[in-house]
Amino acid sequence: MSVVDDKPKSTRALTRLENIGADPRVTVLFDHRAETWDDLWWVRADGAATIHHDRPPESAALHAKYVQYRKSDPAGPWIRIEVSRWTGWAAMG
């Protein structure tokens, strides 16, 4: 899940939301950079994204993790990704 929060933006019509509306196929990449090659890794999630405008079901988790969300839920929409494929790599050190 990803939420569009109240951080300053020039518009709430974000390009990522337009892109998902046009083609819901998405990729999210998580990587760990390090000084030595032995500690490098990445994980990639491929899937289909949907945009939602109701209250995120994980609101309690957001409130617990982020102080700024305890006063109110993020004002913008949220994105859910149904992951269909995981891939990854890690250095073999």
Nearest-angstrom CA–CA distance, 92 and 37? 9
Evaluate if residue 55 carries a pLDDT over 70: yes
pLDDT greater at residue 64 or residue 32: 32
| Right CATH for 2-90 from 1.10.3720.10, 2.30.30.30, 3.40.640.10, 2.30.110.10 | 2.30.110.10
Nearest-angstrom CA–CA distance, 46 and 81? 9
Per cent of the chain over pLDDT 90 is 42
Q: Which one-letter amino acid corresponds to residue 7?
A: K
Residue ranges of domains in the chain = 2-90
- Residue among 39, 26, 35 nearest 89 (CA): 39
**Average pLDDT value for the chain:** 85
Query: Is the separation of the CB atoms in 25 and 66 below 8 Å?
Result: no
- Two tokens at 24? 């819901």
Nearest-angstrom CA–CA distance, 52 and 29? 22
